[in-house]
Amino acid sequence: MTLNLLFFTITIKKREISIEEAVHQEMVKRLYEENKDRRMSVYHFRF
């Protein structure tokens, strides 16, 4: 996709990710969700 705006050209293309990057992103997402669940359980425990 190309967008011409005031003499600037911006080109956006889908970036291919490697398997290592995909695994890393999945691990980060899983750890984030676990921490979010842990924070919520501590919050409910305190109140």
Cβ-based neighbours of 11, under 8 Å, separated by 6 or more: 1, 2
5-18 pLDDT tens trace: 566 667 788 888 89
Q: List CB contacts of 2: < 8 A, sequence separation 6 or more.
A: 9, 10, 11, 12
Whether the pLDDT of residue 2 is over 80: the answer is no
Task: Give pLDDT, residue 3.
Answer: 59
**pLDDT recorded at residue 30:** 96
Give 19-46 pLDDT, tens digit per residue: 999 999 999 999 999 998 888 877 676 6
Q: How far is Cα 1 from Cα 17, in angstroms, rounded to an integer?
A: 19
Q: What is the pLDDT of residue 40?
A: 81
pTM for the full predicted model: 0.52
